[in-house]
Structure 1
Protein backbone atom coordinates (compact mmCIF):
# COMPACT_ATOMS: atom_id res chain seq x y z
CA UNK A 1 0.00 0.00 0.00
CA UNK A 2 2.89 2.35 0.79
CA UNK A 3 4.36 1.89 -2.69
CA UNK A 4 1.02 2.61 -4.34
CA UNK A 5 0.53 5.79 -2.29
CA UNK A 6 4.01 7.09 -3.11
CA UNK A 7 3.47 6.37 -6.79
CA UNK A 8 0.21 8.31 -6.77
CA UNK A 9 2.00 11.35 -5.40
CA UNK A 10 4.45 11.32 -8.27
CA UNK A 11 1.91 10.83 -11.03
CA UNK A 12 -1.28 12.67 -10.06
CA UNK A 13 -0.17 16.21 -10.97
CA UNK A 14 1.35 15.04 -14.26
CA UNK A 15 -1.62 12.87 -15.16
CA UNK A 16 -4.19 15.50 -14.39
CA UNK A 17 -2.21 18.10 -15.93
CA UNK A 18 -1.72 15.91 -18.98
CA UNK A 19 -5.41 15.22 -19.10
CA UNK A 20 -6.46 17.16 -19.30
CA UNK A 21 -4.69 19.11 -22.85
CA UNK A 22 -4.04 26.03 -30.88
CA UNK A 23 -4.24 29.37 -31.13
CA UNK A 24 -8.02 29.52 -31.60
CA UNK A 25 -9.86 32.51 -30.22
CA UNK A 26 -12.96 32.95 -28.12
CA UNK A 27 -14.52 36.21 -26.88
CA UNK A 28 -14.19 36.78 -23.14
CA UNK A 29 -17.96 37.13 -22.81
CA UNK A 30 -18.37 33.47 -23.77
CA UNK A 31 -16.65 32.38 -20.55
CA UNK A 32 -19.17 31.46 -17.86
CA UNK A 33 -18.61 30.33 -14.24
CA UNK A 34 -19.29 26.67 -13.47
CA UNK A 35 -18.72 23.89 -10.95
CA UNK A 36 -18.30 20.29 -12.13
CA UNK A 37 -18.22 17.30 -9.78
CA UNK A 38 -16.16 14.28 -10.84
CA UNK A 39 -15.85 10.72 -9.67
CA UNK A 40 -12.18 9.80 -9.76
CA UNK A 41 -10.32 6.50 -9.85
CA UNK A 42 -6.56 6.10 -9.65
CA UNK A 43 -4.83 2.70 -9.54
CA UNK A 44 -7.93 1.22 -7.90
CA UNK A 45 -8.33 4.03 -5.34
CA UNK A 46 -11.57 6.01 -5.45
CA UNK A 47 -11.67 9.75 -4.86
CA UNK A 48 -13.91 12.78 -5.26
CA UNK A 49 -12.98 15.52 -7.73
CA UNK A 50 -14.23 18.98 -8.59
CA UNK A 51 -13.41 21.52 -11.30
CA UNK A 52 -14.61 25.11 -11.07
CA UNK A 53 -14.33 28.39 -12.95
CA UNK A 54 -14.93 31.70 -11.20
CA UNK A 55 -14.28 35.40 -11.78
CA UNK A 56 -10.96 36.67 -10.37
CA UNK A 57 -11.19 40.37 -11.24
CA UNK A 58 -11.68 42.38 -14.40
CA UNK A 59 -11.10 40.11 -17.41
CA UNK A 60 -9.52 37.52 -15.12
CA UNK A 61 -10.68 34.02 -14.27
CA UNK A 62 -9.63 31.33 -11.82
CA UNK A 63 -9.85 27.72 -12.97
CA UNK A 64 -9.36 25.10 -10.24
CA UNK A 65 -9.21 21.34 -9.83
CA UNK A 66 -9.34 19.50 -6.49
CA UNK A 67 -9.20 15.75 -5.86
CA UNK A 68 -9.28 14.10 -2.43
CA UNK A 69 -9.56 10.70 -0.81
CA UNK A 70 -8.59 9.27 2.58
CA UNK A 71 -4.90 8.96 1.66
CA UNK A 72 -4.07 11.86 -0.62
CA UNK A 73 -5.20 15.21 -1.99
CA UNK A 74 -4.37 17.23 -5.06
CA UNK A 75 -5.14 20.89 -5.78
CA UNK A 76 -4.37 22.77 -8.99
CA UNK A 77 -5.41 26.27 -10.01
CA UNK A 78 -4.60 28.79 -12.72
CA UNK A 79 -5.53 32.44 -13.10
CA UNK A 80 -5.86 33.55 -16.72
CA UNK A 81 -7.10 36.40 -18.85
CA UNK A 82 -8.31 36.89 -22.43
CA UNK A 83 -5.97 38.93 -24.60
CA UNK A 84 -6.26 39.42 -28.33
CA UNK A 85 -8.67 36.52 -28.63
CA UNK A 86 -6.40 34.11 -26.71
CA UNK A 87 -6.44 32.74 -23.17
CA UNK A 88 -3.22 33.52 -21.30
CA UNK A 89 -2.17 31.92 -17.99
CA UNK A 90 -1.01 34.55 -15.50
CA UNK A 91 -0.24 32.45 -12.43
CA UNK A 92 -0.75 28.93 -11.17
CA UNK A 93 -0.35 26.73 -8.13
CA UNK A 94 -0.08 22.94 -7.84
CA UNK A 95 -0.07 21.22 -4.47
CA UNK A 96 -0.28 17.57 -3.47
CA UNK A 97 -0.36 15.82 -0.13
CA UNK A 98 0.15 12.12 0.51
CA UNK A 99 -0.20 11.19 4.17
CA UNK A 100 2.00 13.81 5.92
CA UNK A 101 4.20 14.82 2.98
CA UNK A 102 3.17 17.91 1.03
CA UNK A 103 4.60 19.57 -2.08
CA UNK A 104 3.71 22.99 -3.47
CA UNK A 105 4.77 24.56 -6.77
CA UNK A 106 3.94 28.09 -7.99
CA UNK A 107 4.08 29.49 -11.53
CA UNK A 108 4.25 33.06 -12.80
CA UNK A 109 3.64 33.89 -16.47
CA UNK A 110 5.08 37.36 -17.05
CA UNK A 111 3.74 38.37 -20.46
CA UNK A 112 5.32 41.82 -20.17
CA UNK A 113 8.77 40.25 -20.09
CA UNK A 114 7.69 37.22 -22.11
CA UNK A 115 8.91 34.57 -19.66
CA UNK A 116 7.55 31.98 -17.23
CA UNK A 117 9.15 31.01 -13.89
CA UNK A 118 8.45 28.45 -11.15
CA UNK A 119 9.14 28.46 -7.40
CA UNK A 120 8.60 26.05 -4.51
CA UNK A 121 9.15 22.32 -4.81
CA UNK A 122 10.62 22.51 -8.31
CA UNK A 123 12.87 19.88 -9.85
CA UNK A 124 16.43 20.90 -10.67
CA UNK A 125 16.60 22.78 -13.96
CA UNK A 126 12.86 23.55 -14.09
CA UNK A 127 12.67 26.92 -12.37
CA UNK A 128 12.92 28.82 -15.66
CA UNK A 129 12.85 31.31 -17.12
CA UNK A 130 11.21 29.84 -20.22
CA UNK A 131 10.45 32.07 -23.18
CA UNK A 132 6.72 32.49 -23.85
CA UNK A 133 5.00 32.60 -27.23
CA UNK A 134 1.55 33.90 -28.12
CA UNK A 135 -0.97 31.10 -27.57
CA UNK A 136 1.00 29.29 -24.83
CA UNK A 137 -1.12 27.73 -22.08
CA UNK A 138 -0.56 25.67 -18.97
CA UNK A 139 -1.83 22.10 -18.63
CA UNK A 140 -4.98 22.98 -16.71
CA UNK A 141 -6.07 25.71 -19.10
CA UNK A 142 -5.78 23.31 -22.04
CA UNK A 143 -8.74 21.42 -20.54
CA UNK A 144 -10.98 24.38 -21.38
CA UNK A 145 -9.39 24.98 -24.77
CA UNK A 146 -9.85 21.34 -25.78
CA UNK A 147 -13.61 21.51 -25.25
CA UNK A 148 -13.81 24.88 -26.98
CA UNK A 149 -11.90 23.69 -30.04
CA UNK A 150 -13.65 20.33 -30.46
CA UNK A 151 -17.04 22.04 -30.45
CA UNK A 152 -15.81 24.68 -32.92
CA UNK A 153 -14.11 22.14 -35.21
CA UNK A 154 -10.67 23.73 -34.79
CA UNK A 155 -7.27 21.96 -34.86
CA UNK A 156 -6.36 20.39 -31.52
CA UNK A 157 -2.72 21.46 -31.40
CA UNK A 158 -1.29 23.17 -28.30
CA UNK A 159 2.02 24.39 -26.92
CA UNK A 160 1.98 23.63 -23.21
CA UNK A 161 4.29 25.58 -20.90
CA UNK A 162 3.99 23.90 -17.51
CA UNK A 163 6.15 22.48 -14.72
CA UNK A 164 9.27 24.13 -16.15
CA UNK A 165 8.91 22.39 -19.51
CA UNK A 166 7.53 23.03 -22.99
CA UNK A 167 5.55 20.29 -24.72
CA UNK A 168 3.71 20.14 -28.01
CA UNK A 169 0.31 18.52 -27.45
CA UNK A 170 -1.76 17.14 -30.34
CA UNK A 171 -5.15 15.45 -30.05
CA UNK A 172 -6.87 13.52 -32.82
CA UNK A 173 -10.58 12.79 -33.08
CA UNK A 174 -11.33 9.07 -32.67
CA UNK A 175 -15.06 9.12 -33.43
CA UNK A 176 -18.29 9.44 -31.47
CA UNK A 177 -19.30 7.31 -28.50
CA UNK A 178 -22.10 7.15 -25.97
CA UNK A 179 -21.04 7.65 -22.37
CA UNK A 180 -22.84 7.94 -19.05
CA UNK A 181 -22.82 11.37 -17.40
CA UNK A 182 -24.39 11.40 -13.98
CA UNK A 183 -26.47 8.35 -14.87
CA UNK A 184 -27.67 9.71 -18.23
CA UNK A 185 -26.39 8.54 -21.61
CA UNK A 186 -24.80 11.30 -23.71
CA UNK A 187 -23.19 11.40 -27.15
CA UNK A 188 -19.53 12.38 -26.90
CA UNK A 189 -16.65 13.14 -29.24
CA UNK A 190 -13.66 10.99 -28.32
CA UNK A 191 -10.20 12.55 -28.70
CA UNK A 192 -6.81 10.94 -28.12
CA UNK A 193 -3.29 12.22 -27.45
CA UNK A 194 -0.32 9.83 -27.35
CA UNK A 195 3.12 10.71 -26.04
CA UNK A 196 5.45 7.72 -25.89
CA UNK A 197 4.02 5.15 -23.45
CA UNK A 198 1.47 7.63 -22.09
CA UNK A 199 -1.94 8.18 -23.62
CA UNK A 200 -4.70 10.62 -22.70
CA UNK A 201 -8.25 10.01 -23.90
CA UNK A 202 -10.98 12.62 -23.40
CA UNK A 203 -14.69 12.55 -24.16
CA UNK A 204 -16.25 15.91 -25.06
CA UNK A 205 -20.00 16.39 -24.63
CA UNK A 206 -21.62 19.48 -26.14
CA UNK A 207 -22.89 21.68 -23.32
CA UNK A 208 -20.39 20.48 -20.68
CA UNK A 209 -17.57 23.05 -20.27
CA UNK A 210 -14.84 20.50 -19.43
CA UNK A 211 -14.18 16.96 -20.69
CA UNK A 212 -16.99 14.67 -19.50
CA UNK A 213 -14.44 11.93 -19.00
CA UNK A 214 -10.63 11.89 -18.90
CA UNK A 215 -8.75 8.59 -19.02
CA UNK A 216 -4.98 8.45 -18.59
CA UNK A 217 -3.21 5.26 -19.70
CA UNK A 218 0.40 4.35 -19.00
CA UNK A 219 2.10 1.43 -20.76
CA UNK A 220 -1.29 0.23 -21.96
CA UNK A 221 -2.88 0.14 -18.50
CA UNK A 222 -5.48 2.50 -17.06
CA UNK A 223 -3.75 4.82 -14.59
CA UNK A 224 -6.44 7.40 -13.82
CA UNK A 225 -10.06 7.95 -14.74
CA UNK A 226 -12.18 11.07 -14.14
CA UNK A 227 -15.93 11.00 -14.90
CA UNK A 228 -18.35 13.93 -14.62
CA UNK A 229 -21.21 13.35 -12.18
CA UNK A 230 -22.89 16.77 -12.17
CA UNK A 231 -22.57 20.28 -13.63
CA UNK A 232 -23.86 23.43 -11.95
Structure 2
Protein backbone atom coordinates (compact mmCIF):
# COMPACT_ATOMS: atom_id res chain seq x y z
CA UNK A 1 0.00 0.00 0.00
CA UNK A 2 1.22 3.50 -0.81
CA UNK A 3 1.84 6.02 1.97
CA UNK A 4 -1.26 7.81 3.27
CA UNK A 5 -0.29 11.29 2.09
CA UNK A 6 -0.64 10.53 -1.65
CA UNK A 7 -4.35 10.06 -1.03
CA UNK A 8 -4.69 13.83 -0.92
CA UNK A 9 -2.76 14.32 -4.15
CA UNK A 10 -4.70 11.57 -5.88
CA UNK A 11 -8.04 13.05 -4.89
CA UNK A 12 -6.91 16.46 -6.12
CA UNK A 13 -5.87 14.95 -9.45
CA UNK A 14 -9.15 13.13 -9.79
CA UNK A 15 -11.10 16.28 -9.06
CA UNK A 16 -9.14 18.26 -11.63
CA UNK A 17 -9.61 15.54 -14.22
CA UNK A 18 -13.32 15.30 -13.72
CA UNK A 19 -13.75 15.21 -14.06
CA UNK A 20 -14.72 17.01 -13.94
CA UNK A 21 -14.78 23.79 -13.25
CA UNK A 22 -16.75 30.05 -11.46
CA UNK A 23 -15.76 31.68 -8.39
CA UNK A 24 -17.21 30.03 -5.29
CA UNK A 25 -19.08 33.14 -4.24
CA UNK A 26 -21.18 32.88 -7.40
CA UNK A 27 -21.79 29.23 -6.70
CA UNK A 28 -23.18 30.05 -3.28
CA UNK A 29 -25.40 32.80 -4.62
CA UNK A 30 -26.99 30.55 -7.23
CA UNK A 31 -30.26 28.79 -6.30
CA UNK A 32 -29.82 25.34 -4.83
CA UNK A 33 -31.26 22.45 -6.83
CA UNK A 34 -34.61 21.06 -5.72
CA UNK A 35 -34.06 17.59 -4.30
CA UNK A 36 -37.74 16.69 -4.33
CA UNK A 37 -37.44 14.55 -7.46
CA UNK A 38 -37.14 10.88 -6.52
CA UNK A 39 -33.73 9.28 -6.86
CA UNK A 40 -33.21 6.22 -9.01
CA UNK A 41 -33.73 2.76 -7.58
CA UNK A 42 -32.10 -0.53 -8.58
CA UNK A 43 -35.19 -1.40 -10.61
CA UNK A 44 -35.01 1.89 -12.49
CA UNK A 45 -31.29 1.58 -13.12
CA UNK A 46 -31.65 -1.86 -14.70
CA UNK A 47 -34.85 -1.19 -16.63
CA UNK A 48 -34.73 -1.40 -20.47
CA UNK A 49 -35.41 2.32 -20.80
CA UNK A 50 -32.40 3.19 -18.66
CA UNK A 51 -30.07 0.99 -20.67
CA UNK A 52 -31.44 1.25 -24.19
CA UNK A 53 -29.31 1.84 -27.27
CA UNK A 54 -26.59 4.46 -26.94
CA UNK A 55 -27.43 6.31 -30.16
CA UNK A 56 -30.11 8.70 -28.86
CA UNK A 57 -29.04 12.34 -28.47
CA UNK A 58 -28.17 13.36 -24.91
CA UNK A 59 -29.24 16.86 -23.98
CA UNK A 60 -27.82 18.79 -21.05
CA UNK A 61 -30.22 18.67 -18.10
CA UNK A 62 -29.92 19.74 -14.44
CA UNK A 63 -29.18 16.86 -12.07
CA UNK A 64 -27.74 15.93 -8.70
CA UNK A 65 -25.65 12.76 -8.31
CA UNK A 66 -24.08 11.09 -5.27
CA UNK A 67 -20.99 8.90 -5.37
CA UNK A 68 -19.00 6.67 -3.07
CA UNK A 69 -15.33 7.68 -3.14
CA UNK A 70 -12.81 4.82 -2.95
CA UNK A 71 -9.03 4.87 -2.81
CA UNK A 72 -6.88 1.82 -3.54
CA UNK A 73 -9.93 -0.39 -3.07
CA UNK A 74 -10.92 1.13 0.28
CA UNK A 75 -13.97 3.26 0.92
CA UNK A 76 -12.59 6.74 1.70
CA UNK A 77 -15.55 9.12 1.52
CA UNK A 78 -18.33 10.56 -0.62
CA UNK A 79 -18.66 12.83 -3.63
CA UNK A 80 -21.48 14.90 -5.10
CA UNK A 81 -21.78 16.21 -8.64
CA UNK A 82 -24.50 18.56 -9.82
CA UNK A 83 -25.46 20.65 -12.83
CA UNK A 84 -27.58 23.74 -12.20
CA UNK A 85 -29.17 26.08 -14.72
CA UNK A 86 -29.54 29.87 -14.38
CA UNK A 87 -32.17 30.75 -16.98
CA UNK A 88 -32.01 34.48 -16.16
CA UNK A 89 -28.34 34.67 -17.16
CA UNK A 90 -28.47 31.92 -19.82
CA UNK A 91 -25.73 30.16 -17.91
CA UNK A 92 -25.09 26.82 -16.27
CA UNK A 93 -22.92 25.65 -13.39
CA UNK A 94 -21.36 22.26 -12.73
CA UNK A 95 -20.06 21.43 -9.23
CA UNK A 96 -18.11 18.56 -7.78
CA UNK A 97 -17.47 18.07 -4.07
CA UNK A 98 -15.32 15.31 -2.55
CA UNK A 99 -15.33 14.74 1.21
CA UNK A 100 -13.16 12.25 3.05
CA UNK A 101 -14.90 10.62 6.00
CA UNK A 102 -13.02 7.33 6.40
CA UNK A 103 -9.43 6.28 6.97
CA UNK A 104 -6.72 8.90 6.56
CA UNK A 105 -8.99 11.09 4.43
CA UNK A 106 -11.45 11.23 7.35
CA UNK A 107 -8.74 11.91 9.90
CA UNK A 108 -7.53 15.00 8.01
CA UNK A 109 -11.10 15.99 7.07
CA UNK A 110 -10.28 16.13 3.36
CA UNK A 111 -12.67 18.43 1.51
CA UNK A 112 -12.34 19.37 -2.17
CA UNK A 113 -14.83 21.55 -4.04
CA UNK A 114 -14.63 22.46 -7.69
CA UNK A 115 -17.04 24.46 -9.81
CA UNK A 116 -17.34 25.88 -13.34
CA UNK A 117 -19.82 28.44 -14.64
CA UNK A 118 -20.39 28.01 -18.37
CA UNK A 119 -22.72 28.75 -21.25
CA UNK A 120 -23.60 26.73 -24.32
CA UNK A 121 -22.45 28.11 -27.67
CA UNK A 122 -24.04 25.89 -30.31
CA UNK A 123 -22.94 22.44 -29.17
CA UNK A 124 -19.93 23.73 -27.22
CA UNK A 125 -19.78 23.95 -23.43
CA UNK A 126 -17.89 27.23 -22.99
CA UNK A 127 -16.32 27.86 -19.56
CA UNK A 128 -16.65 31.39 -18.14
CA UNK A 129 -15.17 31.02 -14.65
CA UNK A 130 -13.77 28.29 -12.47
CA UNK A 131 -12.92 27.80 -8.80
CA UNK A 132 -11.28 25.08 -6.72
CA UNK A 133 -11.05 24.84 -2.93
CA UNK A 134 -8.93 22.15 -1.26
CA UNK A 135 -8.88 21.70 2.51
CA UNK A 136 -7.28 19.18 4.84
CA UNK A 137 -6.92 19.84 8.56
CA UNK A 138 -3.35 20.76 9.55
CA UNK A 139 -2.17 20.18 5.96
CA UNK A 140 -3.52 22.90 3.67
CA UNK A 141 -6.36 25.27 2.81
CA UNK A 142 -5.99 26.38 -0.77
CA UNK A 143 -8.23 28.18 -3.23
CA UNK A 144 -7.76 29.07 -6.88
CA UNK A 145 -10.04 30.92 -9.27
CA UNK A 146 -9.91 31.12 -13.03
CA UNK A 147 -11.52 33.47 -15.55
CA UNK A 148 -12.00 32.67 -19.24
CA UNK A 149 -12.02 35.87 -21.29
CA UNK A 150 -13.51 34.98 -24.68
CA UNK A 151 -13.01 38.49 -26.04
CA UNK A 152 -9.28 38.44 -25.39
CA UNK A 153 -9.12 34.64 -25.88
CA UNK A 154 -7.12 34.14 -22.70
CA UNK A 155 -7.69 32.43 -19.35
CA UNK A 156 -6.00 33.45 -16.11
CA UNK A 157 -5.77 31.87 -12.64
CA UNK A 158 -5.25 33.59 -9.30
CA UNK A 159 -5.02 32.49 -5.68
CA UNK A 160 -2.94 29.57 -4.46
CA UNK A 161 -1.33 28.83 -7.80
CA UNK A 162 2.34 28.87 -8.80
CA UNK A 163 3.87 31.89 -10.50
CA UNK A 164 4.21 29.95 -13.76
CA UNK A 165 0.50 29.16 -13.80
CA UNK A 166 -0.53 32.77 -13.21
CA UNK A 167 0.55 33.61 -16.75
CA UNK A 168 -2.46 34.05 -19.12
CA UNK A 169 -3.17 30.92 -21.15
CA UNK A 170 -4.30 31.39 -24.79
CA UNK A 171 -7.70 29.76 -25.35
CA UNK A 172 -9.57 28.76 -28.46
CA UNK A 173 -13.09 27.73 -29.39
CA UNK A 174 -13.90 24.35 -27.83
CA UNK A 175 -11.53 24.57 -24.84
CA UNK A 176 -13.04 23.28 -21.59
CA UNK A 177 -12.35 22.80 -17.90
CA UNK A 178 -11.97 19.33 -16.44
CA UNK A 179 -15.57 19.10 -15.21
CA UNK A 180 -16.92 20.24 -18.57
CA UNK A 181 -14.96 17.50 -20.34
CA UNK A 182 -16.86 14.96 -18.29
CA UNK A 183 -20.17 16.47 -19.41
CA UNK A 184 -18.91 16.45 -23.00
CA UNK A 185 -18.01 12.76 -22.72
CA UNK A 186 -21.56 12.02 -21.55
CA UNK A 187 -22.91 13.95 -24.54
CA UNK A 188 -20.54 12.55 -27.16
CA UNK A 189 -19.94 8.91 -26.22
CA UNK A 190 -21.04 6.57 -29.02
CA UNK A 191 -19.93 2.97 -29.62
CA UNK A 192 -16.43 2.90 -31.11
CA UNK A 193 -16.04 6.69 -31.19
CA UNK A 194 -12.75 8.54 -30.70
CA UNK A 195 -13.16 11.73 -28.67
CA UNK A 196 -10.70 14.62 -28.56
CA UNK A 197 -10.85 17.62 -26.25
CA UNK A 198 -8.52 20.39 -25.13
CA UNK A 199 -8.34 20.96 -21.39
CA UNK A 200 -7.55 24.46 -20.12
CA UNK A 201 -7.61 24.33 -16.34
CA UNK A 202 -5.47 25.47 -13.42
CA UNK A 203 -3.16 27.57 -15.56
CA UNK A 204 -2.25 25.03 -18.24
CA UNK A 205 -3.57 23.48 -21.46
CA UNK A 206 -3.46 19.83 -22.50
CA UNK A 207 -5.01 17.64 -25.19
CA UNK A 208 -7.17 14.76 -23.98
CA UNK A 209 -7.96 11.79 -26.22
CA UNK A 210 -10.56 9.14 -25.35
CA UNK A 211 -11.63 5.87 -26.94
CA UNK A 212 -15.18 4.56 -26.51
CA UNK A 213 -15.81 0.82 -26.36
CA UNK A 214 -17.49 -0.81 -29.34
CA UNK A 215 -20.38 -2.10 -27.23
CA UNK A 216 -21.87 -1.41 -23.79
CA UNK A 217 -20.71 -3.68 -20.98
CA UNK A 218 -22.26 -4.61 -17.65
CA UNK A 219 -21.02 -2.56 -14.70
CA UNK A 220 -22.30 -2.79 -11.14
CA UNK A 221 -21.84 0.09 -8.68
CA UNK A 222 -23.43 0.42 -5.25
CA UNK A 223 -25.62 -2.62 -5.97
CA UNK A 224 -27.01 -1.02 -9.13
CA UNK A 225 -26.42 -2.68 -12.49
CA UNK A 226 -25.99 -0.71 -15.72
CA UNK A 227 -25.20 -1.35 -19.36
CA UNK A 228 -22.57 1.28 -20.01
CA UNK A 229 -20.01 2.31 -22.59
CA UNK A 230 -16.44 2.28 -21.32
CA UNK A 231 -14.57 5.49 -22.20
CA UNK A 232 -10.80 5.39 -21.71
CA UNK A 233 -8.33 8.24 -21.95
CA UNK A 234 -5.64 7.04 -24.33
CA UNK A 235 -2.91 9.66 -23.86
CA UNK A 236 -2.43 9.56 -20.10
CA UNK A 237 0.78 7.51 -20.00
CA UNK A 238 0.96 5.69 -16.66
CA UNK A 239 -2.07 7.63 -15.41
CA UNK A 240 -5.31 6.18 -16.76
CA UNK A 241 -8.74 7.75 -16.60
CA UNK A 242 -11.77 5.56 -17.32
CA UNK A 243 -15.43 6.58 -17.30
CA UNK A 244 -18.52 4.43 -17.77
CA UNK A 245 -21.45 6.13 -19.54
CA UNK A 246 -24.95 4.63 -19.39
CA UNK A 247 -27.73 5.81 -21.65
CA UNK A 248 -30.34 7.82 -19.76
CA UNK A 249 -27.93 8.65 -16.91
CA UNK A 250 -26.73 12.29 -17.00
CA UNK A 251 -23.44 11.61 -15.17
CA UNK A 252 -20.78 8.88 -15.38
CA UNK A 253 -21.85 5.81 -13.41
CA UNK A 254 -18.22 5.22 -12.47
CA UNK A 255 -15.02 7.28 -12.76
CA UNK A 256 -11.76 5.44 -12.17
CA UNK A 257 -8.24 6.87 -12.03
CA UNK A 258 -5.46 4.29 -12.21
CA UNK A 259 -1.78 4.95 -11.53
CA UNK A 260 0.96 2.61 -12.76
CA UNK A 261 -1.63 -0.05 -13.52
CA UNK A 262 -3.27 0.05 -10.07
CA UNK A 263 -6.61 1.51 -9.00
CA UNK A 264 -6.22 4.84 -7.23
CA UNK A 265 -9.31 7.09 -6.97
CA UNK A 266 -12.61 5.43 -7.82
CA UNK A 267 -15.97 7.29 -7.78
CA UNK A 268 -19.00 4.96 -7.92
CA UNK A 269 -22.50 6.30 -8.51
CA UNK A 270 -24.95 5.74 -5.65
CA UNK A 271 -27.95 7.65 -6.95
CA UNK A 272 -28.93 10.51 -9.22
CA UNK A 273 -32.00 12.63 -9.69
CA UNK A 274 -33.25 15.30 -12.02
CA UNK A 275 -33.28 18.88 -10.78
CA UNK A 276 -35.39 21.86 -11.92
Distance 2:217 2:191 in 1: 18
Secondary structure of the residue aligned to 2:187 is helix
* Correspondence for 2:254: 213
Aligned length: 225
Q: Hey, what's the Cα distance between the residues in 2 that align with 1:63 and 1:190?
A: 22
Quick check: 1:203 aligned with 2:233? no
Pairwise CA distance, 1:10: 2.5
Larger radius of gyration: 2
Which structure 2 residue ranges, 5 or more long, are not aligned?
21-56, 101-105
SS across alignment from 2:163: coil
Higher relative contact order, structure no. (Cα contacts within 8 Å, ≥ 6 residues apart): 2
1:184 equivalent among 221, 224, 230: 224
Deviation of 1:83 after TM superposition, in Å, equals 1.6
Shift of residue 9, structure 1, vs aligned partner? 2.6
CA contact 2:59–2:187 (8 Å) conserved in 1: no
Kept after mapping to 2: 8 A contact 1:13/1:94: no
Offset, 1:200: 0.5
For 2:163 and 2:224, how far apart are their aligned partners in 1? 46
Provide, for residues 137-193 of structure 1, a one-character-per-residue CA deviation record: whole Å limited to 9, x for no partner: 011110100010005986410011011111100001234321124423111101111
Which structure has the highest strand share of the two? 1
Q: Is 2:111 the counterpart of 1:73?
A: yes
Which of 20, 29, 35 does residue 64 from structure 2 map onto? 35
Call closer, same or farther: CA 1:87–1:127 in 2, change over 3 Å: same
TM, length-normalised to structure 2: 0.76
Give the corresponding residue for 1:134: 173
Q: Which moved more, 1:173-182 or 1:212-221?
A: 173-182
SS of alignment partner, residue 65 of structure 1: strand
- Match in the other structure for 1:222: 263
Give the TM-score normalised by the residue count of structure 1: 0.89
Q: Distance in 2 between matches of 1:217 and 1:177?
A: 19
Q: Which residue in the other structure is 2:95 paired with?
A: 64
Partners of 2:127 and 2:148 within 8 A in 1: yes
